[in-house]
Structure 1
């Protein structure tokens, strides 16, 4: 179980398992925004204030994020996520890439 205000672990897993090609633009934007928030929360909340399950979840996701991001820092990852969300919103509004 995740801590209050954090994205539930089963929801995170579902987001990863569903291919982007099967997601609506709204789902992609929502996933990007909630993931960005959750990553930021994981980075700024000290482990001493997290539940054991949240620490484990953050640790597991952190390993996954590090592998996916090839060593990008948290700030760059957040910046990229916001940029991707903005691009998805622009594409949804204009109807083109």
Structure 2
């Protein structure tokens, strides 16, 4: 598989720096589909067959995906903490430790 079947790195960067508010629904849908196809192609294409640009793009995207996982976990933890405080203040929290 060659880089010609991959989404160019310049397109990927351009899509990321353009705010969604400036994109049509069709553009956003197209980016989603072509991005998913590029991820799949990148996953099956050996690194030895990738250009330096595609290796950089894939590794950057992989790092961002992992960052989303960490960010999602942090958001969940903050949400749980906020709910716990809310429950405690309203008196609906766990009463197992109350006298």
Which residue of structure 2 aligns with residue 5 of structure 1? 5
Deviation of the 1:64 alpha carbon: 1.4
| Bigger Rg over Cα | 2
Over aligned residues, Cα RMSD in angstroms?
A: 1.8
1:30 paired to 2:44: no
What pairs with 1:1-97 in structure 2 (closer than 5 Å)? 3-68=3-68, 70=69
Moved >2 Å (runs of 4+)? none
Which residue of structure 2 aligns with residue 76 of structure 1? none
Query: What are the ranges of 5 or more consecutive residues in structure 2 without an aligned counterpart?
Result: 71-99
Query: What are the ranges of 5 or more consecutive residues in structure 1 without an aligned counterpart?
Result: 72-97
TM-score, reference length from structure 2 = 0.61
